[in-house]
Amino acid sequence: HAMNYFLRRADTFTRFLTDGRICLTNNAAERALRGIALGRKAWLFAGSDRGGERAAAMYSLIVTARLNDVDPHAWLADVLARINDIPNPRIHELLPWHWKAHQQVHNTIAA
């Protein structure tokens, strides 16, 4: 059964041979999920379904910041300080990938 499964999907299992971006292990995925596994018991006490949804949204934002090489603490502190003064059509500027570009330009000008 396992060999038939492999043979039907051989192109998927061998894609790493032609695409160097594909990691041979799932270590990165497991490291990314480690925080979720460690917090599992604490998240049982989110207080409500709505509290759990808010926690999931915050975790998604923090992981998105990390994936964009942005310090989540610095990003979140800046966003919380500025979000009230940003008009709704410009709210996208606070997303991690835009924030990082803005910080780099700002730091270059300041130097």
Per-residue pLDDT tens digits for 50-92: 888 888 888 888 888 988 899 999 999 999 999 999 999 999 9
pTM: 0.56
What is the domain range of residue 53? 2-110
Per-position b or e across 28-46, b if 16+ CB within 10 A of its CB? eeeeeeeeeeeeeeeeeee
| More confident of the two residues 69 and 32 | 69
How many domains, the chain? 1
Q: What whole-number distance in Å separates Cα of residue 53 and Cα of residue 68?
A: 23
